[in-house]
């Protein structure tokens, strides 16, 4: 368990201490539930009342906050409390990971595998032939790494991750539990008798630097060539990336989204949850796609916003949704008009 006093925390996040600089903390807590020995933060003004009653030893607050009542906790003032707390969590995680060094048993490491310094290999892990692993890589228990895999520096593979053969993972990558990197793409050729012949998947997956892959996400290897996840991409849990897909830099994709084979997704795209994207499409840079949308054709206009199934212009889709809700009343009015027209016709 790591312990820090208020002055040390302030140095990490470039803040100013207000109160007892020697008070120490070992854990994090929500401001409304925190106890002595924990550190919390206040960023949203609607939670300010909790500040005056919290049992937290240290609270990170905005510089602009003007106290309305006395506060027993030591405060650390920063320009942006939320960002500072995120930085602190990151530094804490890095320091905690730095204490994990060595190889647990039982585990299997092929004699041809090369591991850089400051590595950690958890129990029941498998590292195959000709694997190359960089500096400060953490391989947690029950991880499988196939032959000829290349992994950069500062990579974390959480418990149960599977990396198939030939895949390449860059620097500063985090892959969460249960994720599968490089499983076969969904390739089957229909035969005359109605059955299907499997198409061998001979490519690999390339994950560039600063990517995060969520728990139980799956990234299929290419049929030929590479499935590519570019620098800075963030994938949520339960995301499916099919064979030969390319995801552009700094794109974020929320949970339960599936992208079909050979689709090219641009840079800086934001995709909500439960989106389905058809194969062999292209999506322009900066596009925002609302959750549960179905993308059935390429989106060529950069920085556009699309919604619906099939996905279309956001404003047009919203108007269509309004009209859909009004259909029952519109149907009733049409029937009334039909009756009225019929009566007028009969009188004429």
Q: Hey, what domains does the chain have and what are their CATH numbers?
A: 4-98 (3.40.1390.10), 161-310 (2.160.10.10)
Q: Is the pLDDT of residue 347 over 90?
A: no
Residue 224 has pLDDT above 90, yes or no: yes
Q: How many CA atoms within 13 Å lie on the side-chain side of 57? A: 19
Mean pLDDT of 80-98: 91
Q: Within the chain, how many helices (H) and strands (E) appear?
A: 4, 40
Helix (H) or strand (E) holding 263: none
Query: Taking a C-beta distance cutoff of 8 angstroms, is the pair 131, 116 a contact?
Result: no
Instruction: Give per-residue pLDDT as tens, 23-46.
Output: 999 999 999 999 999 999 999 999
Instruction: Note whether 32 and 54 are within 8 A (CB).
Output: yes
b/e code 224-239 from CB counts within 10 Å (16+ = b): eebbbbbbbbbbbbbb
Tell me whether residue 243 is one of the annotated catalytic residues.
yes
Q: In this model, does residue 316 exceed pLDDT 70?
A: no
Distances in Å between the Cα of 1 and the Cα atoms of 25, 26, 27, 95, 99 are: 10, 7, 8, 11, 10
pLDDT digits (tens, 9 = 90+) for 154-190: 999 999 999 999 999 999 999 999 999 999 999 999 9
Average pLDDT rounded to a whole number, residues 319-336: 78
DSSP letter for 184, please: P
When the pLDDT of each residue in the chain is averaged and rounded to a whole number, the result is 94
What gap in Å lies between CA 120 and CA 340, rounded to an integer?
A: 81
What percent of the chain shows pLDDT beyond 70? 96
pLDDT beyond 80 at 243: yes
**316: which DSSP letter?**
H
pLDDT of residue 93: 85
Average pLDDT over residues 64-85: 96
**Bridge partner residues of 142 (DSSP):** none
pTM score: 0.82
Mean pLDDT of 123-137: 97
Please list the residues that pair with 271 across neighbouring strands: 253, 289
Contact residues for 347 (Cβ-Cβ < 8 A; gap 6+): none
Catalytic residue among 119, 126, 176, 243: 243
The confidence band for 348, taking pLDDT boundaries of 50, 70 and 90, is low
The pairing of beta strand 294-295 with beta strand 312-313 = unpaired
Q: Tell me the Cα Rg of the chain.
A: 27
- C-alpha 218/C-alpha 162 separation (Å) is 10
Identify the DSSP state of 262: T
Q: Any idea what DSSP says for residue 63?
A: T
The span from the CA of 284 to the CA of 302, in Å, is 5
- Angle subtended at Cα 99 by Cα 95 and Cα 101, rounded to the nearest 5 degrees: 135
pLDDT band at 333; cut points 50, 70, 90: confident
pLDDT over 90, % of the chain: 84
Quote the pLDDT of residue 314: 62
**3-state secondary structure (DSSP) of residue 87:** helix
Contact 240, 224 (CB under 8 A): no
Lowest mean pLDDT among 12-16, 197-201, 228-232, 340-344: 340-344
Report the pLDDT value the prediction gives residue 214, as an integer from 0 to 100.
98
For 101-117, b/e burial (b = at least 16 CB within 10 A) is: eeeeeebebeeebebee
pLDDT at 310: 74
What are the tens digits of pLDDT across the range 255-275?
999 999 999 999 999 999 999
């Amino acid at each position: 368990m790591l312990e820090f006093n208020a002055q040390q925390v302030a140095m990490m996040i470039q803040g100013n201490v207000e109160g007892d600089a020697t008070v120490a903390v070992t854990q994090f807590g929500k401001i409304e539930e925190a106890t002595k020995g924990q550190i919390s933060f206040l960023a949203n003004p609607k939670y300010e009342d909790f500040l005056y009653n919290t049992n937290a030893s240290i609270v990170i607050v905005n510089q602009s906050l003007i106290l309305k009542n006395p506060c027993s906790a030591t405060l650390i003032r920063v320009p942006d409390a939320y960002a500072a707390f995120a930085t602190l969590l990151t530094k804490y995680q890095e320091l905690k990971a730095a204490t994990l060094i060595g190889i647990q048993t039982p585990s299997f490491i092929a004699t041809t595998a090369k591991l850089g310094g400051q590595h950690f290999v958890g129990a029941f892990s498998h590292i195959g032939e000709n694997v190359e692993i960089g500096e400060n890589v953490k391989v947690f228990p029950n991880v499988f790494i196939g032959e000829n895999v290349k992994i950069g520096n500062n990579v974390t593979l959480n418990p149960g991750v599977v990396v198939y053969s030939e895949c390449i993972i860059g620097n500063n990558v985090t892959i969460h539990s249960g994720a599968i990197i490089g499983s076969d793409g969904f390739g089957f050729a229909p035969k005359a008798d109605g059955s299907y012949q499997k198409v061998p998947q001979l490519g690999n997956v390339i994950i560039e630097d600063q990517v995060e892959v969520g728990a139980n996400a799956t990234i299929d290897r290419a049929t030929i060539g590479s499935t590519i996840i570019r620098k800075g991409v963030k994938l949520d849990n339960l995301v499916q990336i099919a064979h030969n897909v390319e995801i552009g830099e700094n794109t974020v994709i929320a949970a339960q989204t599936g992208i079909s084979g050979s689709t090219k997704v641009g840079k800086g795209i934001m995709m909500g949850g439960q989106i389905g994207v058809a194969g062999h499409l292209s999506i322009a840079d900066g596009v925002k796609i609302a959750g549960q949308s179905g993308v059935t054709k390429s989106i060529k206009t950069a920085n556009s916003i699309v919604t619906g199934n099939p996905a279309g212009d956001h404003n047009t889709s919203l108007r269509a949704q309004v009209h859909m809700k009004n259909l029952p009343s519109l149907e009733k009015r049409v029937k009334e008009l039909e009756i009225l027209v019929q009566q007028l016709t009969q009188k004429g």
